[in-house]
Amino acid sequence: MFSIVSYLKLSEQVAKLANPQRSDAFVKAFKESVREGQFEAAYINTERFQLPKEFSRRNSDETYNRTVREMIFEASPEFDAWFDEVNRGLAANRTGGKIKTSVESINAGLVDFKALAAETRQKMQASHDKGQQLGRSRAGRKAAPKATAKKTKK
């Protein structure tokens, strides 16, 4: 007896994401799960689809999109549970990297100027102390005698 199995496309699943700007991370997690054998999927050789995420180019206001190879997979309760978990994880706001120190970020209140000044003061003091320590250690030693040049006979 054959059971009816429904198949879904990866592009259909990407469309269901709560945060489309994280679609690239979802595709990466999906492929990793397939590679680890959590569920079965196969490439559809002739099809590609565009990710909804807009990527931005460095030092430019220009944006672009990427395309990825289409995949087909079995719809199952295990996949639905996996999708819900990954979707929740990707829906949460990313904490992002460290904010670059600039006049704009300080004025906007993104960077604490007092903490930044205290950190700078500590670094400067540590550098000064290190230099003083090095100077004291060298002052205590007697200079090594210089090697005399040998005379050669002609």
What does pTM read for this prediction? 0.56
Q: Per-residue pLDDT for 39 more than 90?
A: no
pLDDT classification of 123: cutoffs 50, 70, 90: very high
Q: What is the mean pLDDT of the chain?
A: 83
**Is the separation of the CB atoms in 116 and 101 below 8 Å?**
yes
Q: What is the pLDDT of residue 7?
A: 87
Using CA of residue 83, residue 86, residue 92, residue 97, what is the dihedral sign? negative
pLDDT classification of 19: cutoffs 50, 70, 90: confident
**Is the separation of the CB atoms in 60 and 27 below 8 Å?**
no
- What would the pLDDT profile of 60-117 be if each residue is shown by its tens digit? 888 888 888 999 998 888 888 888 888 888 876 655 566 677 777 777 777 788 888 8
Q: What is the pLDDT of residue 145?
A: 67
Write out the two tokens for 9. Answer: 């496309």
Write out the two tokens for 22. Answer: 């994280």
Angle at 93 (CA atoms; ends 91, 96), nearest 5 degrees: 135
Q: Per-residue pLDDT for 11 more than 80?
A: yes
